[in-house]
Amino acid sequence: MSKISVGIVGVGVHVPEKVLTNFDLEQMVDTSDTWIRTRTGIAERRVAAEGIATSDLAVEAAKAALDDAGITADEVDLILVTTSTPDMIFPSTACLVQSKLGIAGCAAFDLQAACTGFVYGFTVAAQFIETGMYKTVLLIGADAFTKYVNWQDRNTCVLFGDGAGAVVLRRVDDGYGLLSSYLAADGSGADLLKIPAGGSALPGNEYSIENNLHYVQMVGGEVFKFAVRILPEAGTKALEKAGLTVTDVDYLVPHQANIRIINAAADRLGINKEKIIVNLEKYGNTSTASIPLALYDLYASGGLKRGDVLLFVGFGAGLTWGANVIRWSEGGGR
């Protein structure tokens, strides 16, 4: 019996209305538009308003993806949310999304692999359909990292933005959809990128608040070196598993962390710059939402055609990294 092919049949995104530009940041911290653009490629990012949680971003992206797929929420068998900024420790953000969609009964859970979350999530979600357990999976990558940055730390506060991207996964024609995945992690690098407090190791207390331990901490130089090395490695291994090479790739959709990382990794991978989808200039690093947000830009442009090969590549805290190879099964876009 041949394996069921699983692909994307609907795409949707949502970003907050508020735009925070580099010039705005110049008034908040010791930085400049030139400094930020030169080192990151970012010009602006979206910031969720007070009272808007990750689940709120996620549910709007989910509604858009369901509408694009032409299905209703009650047809969903599983809601899988990948996030590092859940509404709360428990219940899962996926359960909150389910409630806000007005449905109940389907399975719902979160997956945490930081900025690699969407790649991990796609791999996990597809397996539920491949095995025949479920027909329709709603996969959402959503993060609200601006709620976890120290606005006095110019090395991190300039990087992150908020947003959500969702896809509807279903069975597609044989030979299309997800062709292969490669996932990996190295926990020895956990201290390079983290939010120290808020978990069982260091619950919130006066000490953790006074020492800003509920904010993102990053050893930027080490993360940069890791990302430049690991992105091409992950992409190459996923392509090998699919029986393809980089010349077969029509579009590279990388995690949108830093333009210097993307360009350096692309050079090592040997892929033409015209094939790389980049939108971090307007959104910044939206963590697990960055790949679906970039995918949507390509999809909405109408540039995708049936049979195009897409390579999703991500890296993040953990340390985690991975890649998906997808043969696009639908035509065009909006």
Rounded CA gap, 329 and 47, in Å? 33
Which listed residue (106, 255, 258, 324) is catalytic?
255
Look at residues 132, 139, 78, 71 and name the one whose alpha carbon lies nearest to residue 106: 78
Which listed residue (22, 258, 285, 324) is catalytic?
285
Strand partners, 252: 276, 311
Report helix, strand or coil for 242. coil
150, 156 in Cβ contact below 8 A?
yes
DSSP 156: H
Rounded CA gap, 290 and 277, in Å? 11
Dihedral angle of Cα 320, 266, 325, 73, to the nearest 10 degrees: 70
42, 36 in Cβ contact below 8 A?
yes
What crossing angle do the helices spanning 290-300 and 117-130 adopt, rounded to 10°? Answer: 70
For 70-93, the DSSP string reads T--GGG-SEEEEE-SS-SSSSS-H
Rounded CA gap, 129 and 136, in Å? 7
115 is catalytic: yes
255 is catalytic: yes
Which listed residue (95, 106, 115, 157) is catalytic?
115
95 is catalytic: no
| CA 14, chain centre distance (Å) | 13
Q: In this structure, are strands 162-171 and 137-144 parallel, antiparallel, or unpaired?
A: antiparallel
Strand partners, 304: 332
Rounded CA gap, 297 and 311, in Å? 15
Rounded CA gap, 11 and 65, in Å? 4
- With tokens 């979160």, the residue in question is 110
Catalytic residues: 115, 255, 285
